[in-house]
Amino acid sequence: MVEAIFYNRSFEPSDGAAICAQRRRAGLLFGRSHRKQLKHNTKAVTRILAVETSGDYASAALLADGEVVCNIFKEKNRHTESLISLADEVLCGKNLKVADMDAVAFGAGPGAFTGLRVACGVAQGLAWAIGKPTVQVGNLAAAAYALFESHPEVKRVCVVNDARMHECYTASFERDPEGGMPDEVRAPELVKPEDVVQILRQDNVQAVIGTALAAYAEEILVPEGVVAIETEQVSAGQIVELAAVMMKAGLVTDPHLAAPLYVRNRVALTIEQRRAGEKL
């Protein structure tokens, strides 16, 4: 079924551009190829289309004139056939076209390899067709940004998502005091569920969120004093909100340079592994 989520709330990214720019020059947020692609005009951002297929579900979201609208298709593993339709629906709902967008964002990962490639490919194609930049948004960072927006008391959070194969994608972030990009305390990495507790202590977080909390409830024993919040797969609505912050800070990429964020080294399964039911 398709679940249409209408946020119906105003959204204006905080002006953390100066701080983000300083961190970008210091190499703290992105690699070299990302830092040098800053030729697009990002001063007056009003419309961004975002797509997200890093997990079981596909979603598309539109940020237009200060309002976010997000459609989520909650049927597993039908990314390719549903994503364009979802994007078309959110655009038609506002009487807009892809050509009206200032940028196209996508959930870059980490996540399911096929899903990441689908979202990246769609974003690249749409952005290239209209001559606009892409914004590649880390899924863990988007989850952290959403948490900071909804829980102002939390200053540092660890995101732990189910990576299947009894592993987790994790990263820790600190709130930006100016409302810009979350400051990366721990870069995205692949860990065993039983190692999460040590990470929570090492990173001195106040909260832990993510899909792995439910998937590995017996292994992830949250320490006292850390708030655990189970969350679903990041939606395109969360992706588009962080994309607005990133674009305001000039963190955009030419479409031909956009790429998923892979953390796991294994990118394919053998026939025997697929028959055994393993998934990446």
114 and 26 both lie in a single domain: yes
pLDDT above 70 covers a percentage of the chain that reads: 76
**Using N-to-C axis directions, what is the helix angle for 236-248 and 17-25, rounded to 10°?**
80
6 and 134 both lie in a single domain: yes
Which of 13-27, 178-192, 206-220 has the weakest average pLDDT?
13-27
Per-residue burial over 107-131, b = 16 or more CB atoms within 10 Å of its CB, e = otherwise: bbbbbbbebbbbbbbbbbebbeebe
CATH code for position 176 = 3.30.420.40
Q: β-strand 134-138 against 183-191: which pairing, if any?
A: unpaired
Is 273 within a domain?
no
Is 275 within a domain?
no
- The domain tally of the chain equals 2
Does the pLDDT at position 208 exceed 90? Answer: yes
Residue 200's domain comprises: 141-230
Is 268 within a domain?
no
Given 230, 249, 274, the domain boundary residue is 230
134 and 85 both lie in a single domain: yes
Tens digit of pLDDT for each residue in 228-277?
Answer: 998 999 999 999 999 999 999 999 999 999 999 998 765 555 556 556 66
Is 279 within a domain?
no
Q: Report the pLDDT value the prediction gives residue 113, as an integer from 0 to 100.
A: 92
How far apart CA 45 and CA 63 sit, in angstroms, is 10
76 and 119 both lie in a single domain: yes
Q: Report the pLDDT value the prediction gives residue 14, as an integer from 0 to 100.
A: 56
39 and 127 both lie in a single domain: yes
| Average pLDDT of the chain to the nearest whole number | 83
DSSP state of 222: P
56 and 167 both lie in a single domain: no
161 and 118 both lie in a single domain: no
Q: Report the pLDDT value the prediction gives residue 73, as an integer from 0 to 100.
A: 86
Q: Report the pLDDT value the prediction gives residue 264, as an integer from 0 to 100.
A: 76
Structure tokens belonging to residue 273: 């592994």
Which of 40-44, 86-90, 157-161, 203-207 has the weakest average pLDDT?
40-44
131 and 13 both lie in a single domain: yes
Tell me the HSE value of 201 on the side-chain side, using a 13 A CA sphere.
9
- Report how far apart, in Å, the C-alpha atoms of 200 and of each of 93, 99, 126, 133, 175 are: 42, 44, 39, 36, 16
246 and 226 both lie in a single domain: no
How far apart CA 230 and CA 68 sit, in angstroms, is 23
Is 266 within a domain?
no
Question: Position of tokens 């025997």?
Answer: 272
55 and 151 both lie in a single domain: no
Is 66 within a domain?
yes
Is 117 within a domain?
yes
252 and 159 both lie in a single domain: no
124 and 41 both lie in a single domain: yes
Is 274 within a domain?
no
DSSP state of 39: -
